[in-house]
Amino acid sequence: MTVAWLLLALAVAPPGCGSSDADGPSGSTSDGSGAAAAGGGPGHGGAAGAGAGASVPEECTALAGAICARLDECSPASITLPYGTVETCQAREARRCASALAIADSGYSLGKAVACAAAYQAATCDGVVTAVAADCAPGGGARGVAEPCASPDQCESGRCAPAAATGAGGGGGGVAEPPTGCGVCAPRAAVSESCADDAAACAPATACVAGVCVALATFGTSCATGQPCDLGLVCDGSICVPGGAAGAACSAMAPCDPGAWLGCVAAACAAPVWAEGGQPCAAAVEGDPVPVCIASSHCGGGAICVAAAEDGAACGGAPGVSCYPPAICSGGFCTLPDVMQCD
């Protein structure tokens, strides 16, 4: 599964570094099941068109429970930003697993789901991403480098890179077609290999630092040379340790817990202000914390969180409407990978 690598990026980005591509859920109509909103386009309308009618194996349900429980314990922002609630996380991660099983040329299997669930259950918060890397990394698919893909599980390398953007009109001056959401299988870069031209190329449990892929550091190991710490850990100047809890004293050398999205405000760790779809994402009073959009929404025009769309509903467009993971905006509609046409 790919969730750990996506959520790592969400959880370790410093609070206040621009708007999140994540949104607001308790007020959302999503039940997390993948049910589509009315008005889906051709080939995407309704639950069946979006792939939501596919059955979810019990192994996928168990995997989703293990992932979301561990992330909620170790990095609650990894739940809040993309999903909003643990329940939505569980439903969407189960759907991700089912989609990975159903997609053409997939290297995913029920055995992988079981092994990944066990890895999450056994992992501690001292280095959860590193602990699950071997059993949960995508890959093993039938498609080689440069072949089209909708999911990393289709690629032998485990990486489905975004296709090169052609720009409005494709250089011909016409109206650009809605993005398909399809990508191409791309190679992974291992530790010590270059990522200078593609920072996203590094393998799971590694990160691109100064143009080179380096392994994530776990609890108690050195981060003195700029080596990034694992999920929920911070570098206190030389060693990876848990970040400060809400109310704890903080400084540049004593960071707050990134897994809870805490920021250092007036030398004390402070919790963020979360905003759901339709709520303001600008500070009401100058100097107040800037609200962070949650559950896959993002801060749009008028400083209002733009809620994510349901499976099968319209996405993209001027407001930049996003989709709930694992759905992808394909041809202007939120579509699950297993029903995308990326051949």
- Residue 175's pLDDT is 52
**What integer pLDDT is reported at residue 41 of this predicted model?**
35
Q: What average pLDDT does the segment 235-261 reach? A: 92
Q: What is the pTM of this model?
A: 0.82
**pLDDT for position 203:** 95
In this model, does residue 287 exceed pLDDT 50?
yes
Q: What is the pLDDT of residue 232?
A: 86
Amino acid symbol at 261? W
The mean per-residue pLDDT over the stretch 74-98 comes to 97
Q: What's the CA gap between 91 and 67, in Å, rounded?
A: 11
pLDDT given for residue 171 in this prediction: 39
Instruction: Name the band, by pLDDT with cuts 50, 70 and 90, for residue 329.
Output: very high
Side-chain-side CA neighbours of 26 within 13 Å: the count stands at 4
Q: Which of 25-34, 106-115, 137-146, 278-287 has the lowest mean pLDDT?
A: 25-34
Q: How many CA atoms lie within 13 A of 124 on its CB side?
A: 4
Least confident of 27-31, 152-156, 215-219: 27-31
Which of 27-36, 158-167, 176-185, 253-262 is modeled with the greatest confidence? Answer: 253-262
pLDDT band at 8 (very low <50, low <70, confident <90, very high): very low
pLDDT at position 163, please? 80
- Alpha-carbon distances of 54 from 98, 99, 279, rounded to whole Å: 8, 8, 33
Instruction: Kindly tell me if the per-residue pLDDT of 292 is higher than 70.
Output: yes
